[in-house]
Amino acid sequence: MTVTQNVNTLCYEPGLCINCEMCIIVCPHAVFAPDGKVVRVANGESCMECGACQVNCPVAAIKVDSGVGCAYALMWSAIRGGGPAVCGPGEGSCC
């Protein structure tokens, strides 16, 4: 059964997991943990949606809407009419 969270967009499909544990390796907040034959979500509410697990999952068992966490960037994108939020060269305080 798909594992989802209330406070973020992390979505994990244990049925697809091949137990390579890449998600455990790349997650900086220990969201995933080993659990026998497949990985389990141990700490889902700590997910910051960086997207590392999704990108490194070779079987696409993890989905998360990753993106910029800068409030300025998100507000600007909202003001400009919902385009993608970008921070980067010349603007933003996050990097």
Residues that bind other proteins (CB under 8 A): 7-9, 22, 24-30, 46-52, 55-56, 58, 65-75, 78, 85-90, 92-95
- In the complex with other proteins, the residue whose CB is nearer, 38 or 74, is 74
With b for 16 or more beta-carbon neighbours within 10 A and e for fewer, the 37-72 pattern comes to eebebeebeebebbbbbbeebeeebbbbebbbebee
Q: How far is the CB of 37 from other proteins (least distance, A)?
A: 20
Q: How far is the CB of 17 from other proteins (least distance, A)?
A: 15
Q: How far is the CB of 15 from other proteins (least distance, A)?
A: 19
- In the complex with other proteins, the residue whose CB is nearer, 41 or 52, is 52
Give the span between the Cα atoms of 77 and 22, in whole angstroms. Answer: 32
Identify whether the C-beta of residue 21 lies closer than 8 Å to the C-beta of residue 73.
Answer: no
